[in-house]
Amino acid sequence: MFKTVHDAVAHVTELRRTLRDVVTIDVVVAPPFTALAATADRARDSRIAVSAQNLHWEREGAFTGEVSAAMIHEAGAQYVIIGHSERRTLFFETNMVVNKKLGAALAADLSPIVCIGETLQQREASQTHAVLDQQLREGLDGFTAGQLDVLIVAYEPLWAIGTGRNATPEQAQDAHAHIRARLRQWFGVEMAERCRILYGGSVKPDNTAALMAQADVDGALVGGASLDVQSFTAIVKSAQAGPHPPS
């Protein structure tokens, strides 16, 4: 919950300048609902795409305060974040809610960025893989590989979000490799290889390169560091310089 319409437009305007030489990576910004249309308009004809931060699973109805996938699409967004850790922990969203939102996003031709991840307690109890399995299985239940053609998965270890404590590259790779293995098992090799798996958790300019060097880390879901143009630009350029430029 940062940036007014004016702030968001100014942010993207500056990003267009600082990222003008970025040609091998997809960049997506996720402003508040109020700034979606203006930000999408300012990002037009650039490498910067726009995502909503959330959506409701119904197309319309008596859901005061909610925003539908169709509204988001009409505002100019191409992506939507689903099941972000803050939605799960602060607003009690379950895997079943994530599943319904995923269906709404796909029906509206939005590319879903589905977030999953474990708490510190779960990691210390060696439950990381089991937690990821449950979130993936219930969140993606009922969908086919073809339907999930545009799926993006974001691994967010909750203990590394906004804490300054990020997962080591090896920890990130372990989780990402497990996620891809499960996608391969459940949806086939082609879908698993095509699916982009992002890492999110205190991503900063000084740790991006090491994270992006991991075989199964395809990109980053950047939080606080994305609010500053110079910091975000440094992250994008560091990712672009990696061995397999992510999207």
193: in domain: yes
Q: Which entry of 56, 84, 118, 176 is annotated as an active-site residue? A: 84
Q: Is residue 107 part of a domain?
A: yes
Tokens representing 115?
A: 């977030």
Flag whether pLDDT at 246 surpasses 50.
Answer: no
Does 246 or 38 have the greater pLDDT score? 38
Residue 17 inside a domain? The answer is no
Q: What pLDDT is attached to residue 247?
A: 40
The 10s digit of each residue's pLDDT in 148-197 is: 999 999 999 999 876 767 789 999 999 999 999 999 999 999 999 999 99
Q: CA 68 to CA 56: how far, in whole Å?
A: 5
178 catalytic, yes or no? no
Residue 232 lies in a domain: yes
Burial of 139 (0-12, 13-18, 19+ CB in 10 A): buried
* Whether 238 contacts 173, CB under 8 Å: no
Q: Would 170 be classed as within a structural domain? A: yes
Is 21 a member of any domain? no
Is 47 among the domain residues? yes
**Which residue is catalytic, options 86, 93, 118, 156?**
156
Q: Give the span between the Cα atoms of 113 and 102, in whole angstroms.
A: 9
Its domain, for residue 196, covers 28-240
The residue type at 152: I
CATH code of the domain in which 222 resides = 3.20.20.70
Q: What is the pLDDT of residues 45-76, one digit of tens each?
A: 999 999 999 999 999 999 999 999 999 999 99
Q: What is the mean pLDDT of residues 6-12?
A: 98
Look up residue 217 and give its two tokens. Answer: 């880390």
Q: Looking at residue 197, what is its pLDDT?
A: 98
Q: For residue 129, indicate whether it is catalytic.
A: no
Averaged confidence pLDDT in the chain: 95
pLDDT of residue 241: 81
196-199, strands of its sheet edge to edge: 27-29, 48-52, 79-82, 111-116, 152-155, 196-199, 219-220
State whether residue 116 is helix, strand or coil: strand
- pLDDT greater at residue 167 or residue 107: 107
Q: Considering the domain boundaries, does residue 9 fall inside one?
A: no
Instruction: Please report, as a single letter, which amino acid is at residue 231.
Output: S
In this prediction, residues 129-147 reach a mean pLDDT of 98
